Structure 1
Amino acid sequence: MARQSISFTKPNDEWLKSQVDSEEYSSKSELVNDLIRQARKQQAQIDWIKARLERAENSGFTHDSKEAILAESKSMLNG
């Protein structure tokens, strides 16, 4: 695993410490890695939505119902 040295603002550092102190996470590193995983998953979802929108714009029309499009979008967002 790569080691990094990063600096946090005081409010962010205090929040990180409170998460570790509450035993939600065992260390700041674990918490930061979890936040990065969440951000990467969110970015993948955003990229998927953008690709769908671009495909829809380029196709001009879809035969999918509003309900089907909504269900597929919710399925993707919920993992």
Structure 2
Amino acid sequence: MATMNISLPDSLKLFVQERIEHSDFSNPSDYIRALIRADKERYLEQQLEQALLQGINSGQSKPINEQFWQRLEAKAQGGS
């Protein structure tokens, strides 16, 4: 596991220590990792939302019916 050092003002260091004392985190590293994981999840959700909105705004939709699925299956099996 890689190491990263960060500097915190005293007020934030005290807050982190307080959170550790009143939570399931065993040390500051656990707490910071949890914050980063939560931020990463939010970031990925934002990326997904942007991709979905881009798809919605990309033009007229195509109907998905039995013929669509048949064509897709034929392409997947190497047909045209």
**What TM-score, normalized to structure 1?**
0.69
Counterparts of 1:62 and 1:3 in 2: how far apart (Å)? Answer: 49
List structure 1 segments (4+ residues) > 3 angstroms apart after TM superposition.
60-63
Map 1:39-58 onto structure 2 (within 5 A).
39-58=39-58
Matched residue of 1:59: which SS? coil
CA RMSD of aligned residues (A): 1.9
Q: 1:57 to 1:29 in 2, by over 3 A?
A: same
Give 1 or 2: higher helix fraction. 1
Which of 1 and 2 has greater Rg?
2
Runs of at least 5 residues in structure 1 that lack an aligned partner in the other structure = 64-79
Identity of aligned residues (%): 17
**What TM-score, normalized to structure 2?**
0.68
Aligned pairs, number: 63
Bigger relative contact order (CA 8 A; separation at least 6): 1
Runs of at least 5 residues in structure 2 that lack an aligned partner in the other structure = 64-80
